[in-house]
Amino acid sequence: MSAAIHRIRLAGGDLEFACAEGDTLLRAAQRAGLGFPYECNVGSCGNCKFELVDGEVADAWPQAPGLSDKDRQRKRHLGCQSQPQGDCQVKLRTMERYVPLHRPQRAAAVLQAVRALTHDISEFRFQVEAPFAFEPGQYALVWLPGVEGPRAYSMSNIADAAGAGGGCDFQVRRLNAGAGSAALFALQPGSRVEIDGPYGMAWLRRDAPRDILCLAGGSGLAPMVSIARGAMAEARLADRQLHFIYGGRTAADICGQDLLQALPGYGTRLHYSAFVSNAADDSAAYPVGFVHEAALQAHGERLREMEIYFAGPPAMANAVQAMLLAAGVPPDQQHFDQFY
Ligand X SMILES: Cc1cc2nc3c(=O)[nH]c(=O)nc-3n(C[C@H](O)[C@H](O)[C@H](O)COP(=O)(O)OP(=O)(O)OC[C@H]3O[C@@H](n4cnc5c(N)ncnc54)[C@H](O)[C@@H]3O)c2cc1C
Q: Which residues bind ligand X (CB under 6 A)?
A: 40, 42-44, 61, 139, 148-149, 151-154, 170-173, 175, 178-181, 200, 219, 222, 337, 339-340
Q: Which does 27 bind (CB under 5 to 8 A by kind): ligand X, ligand FES, none?
A: none
CB < 8 Å & 24+ apart, contacts of 248-251:
248/118, 248/217, 248/218, 248/274, 248/275, 248/276, 248/277, 249/218, 249/276, 249/277, 249/278, 249/281, 250/276, 250/278, 250/281, 250/283, 251/276, 251/281, 251/283, 251/285, 251/286
Cβ contacts of 95 within 8 Å, gap of 6 or more? 35, 37
Count Cα atoms within 13 angstroms, Cβ side, for 124: 28
Q: Which does 46 bind (CB under 5 to 8 A by kind): ligand FES, ligand X, none?
A: ligand FES
Of the residues 23, 25, 34, 39, which one makes contact with ligand FES according to CB under 6 A: 39
Question: Cis before residue 198, ω within 30 degrees of 0?
Answer: yes
Of the residues 10, 25, 44, 200, which one makes contact with ligand FES according to CB under 6 A: 44
Of the residues 10, 17, 36, 41, which one makes contact with ligand FES according to CB under 6 A: 41
| Residue with smaller CB distance to ligand X, 40 or 320 | 40
The distance of closest approach from Cβ of residue 80 to ligand X in the complex, given in angstroms and rounded to an integer, is 9
| Residue with smaller CB distance to ligand X, 78 or 303 | 78
Spell out, one character per residue from 120 to 149, where the chain touches ligand FES: x when CB under 6 A holds, - when not.
Answer: ------------------------------
Question: For residues 62-91, which are near ligand FES according to CB under 6 A?
Answer: 66, 78-80
Q: Does 46 bind ligand FES (CB under 6 A)?
A: yes
Q: Does 47 bind ligand FES (CB under 6 A)?
A: yes
| Residue with smaller CB distance to ligand FES, 45 or 216 | 45
Cβ contacts of 258 within 8 Å, gap of 6 or more? none
Q: Which does 66 bind (CB under 5 to 8 A by kind): ligand X, ligand FES, none?
A: ligand FES
Query: CA angle 107-134-116, nearest 5°?
Result: 80
Q: Which does 317 bind (CB under 5 to 8 A by kind): ligand FES, ligand X, none?
A: none
Cβ contacts of 268 within 8 Å, gap of 6 or more? none
- Which SS3 state, helix, strand or coil, does residue 236 take? helix
Region of 46-54, 96-104, 113-121, 267-275 interacting with ligand FES (CB under 6 A) = 46-54
Cβ–Cβ < 8 Å for 94, 105? no
Cβ contacts of 247 within 8 Å, gap of 6 or more? 215, 216, 217, 218, 274, 275, 276, 277, 289, 290, 291, 294, 312, 316
Q: Which does 149 bind (CB under 5 to 8 A by kind): ligand X, ligand FES, none?
A: ligand X
The distance of closest approach from Cβ of residue 163 to ligand FES in the complex, given in angstroms and rounded to an integer, is 23
Phi, psi angle pair for 285, to nearest 5°:
-75, -30
The distance of closest approach from Cβ of residue 32 to ligand FES in the complex, given in angstroms and rounded to an integer, is 17
CA dihedral 6, 163, 149, 39 (to 10 degrees): -80
The distance of closest approach from Cβ of residue 184 to ligand X in the complex, given in angstroms and rounded to an integer, is 8
The distance of closest approach from Cβ of residue 66 to ligand FES in the complex, given in angstroms and rounded to an integer, is 3
Cβ contacts of 331 within 8 Å, gap of 6 or more? none
| Residue with smaller CB distance to ligand X, 43 or 303 | 43
| Positions in the binding site for ligand FES (CB under 6 A) | 38-41, 43-48, 66, 78-80
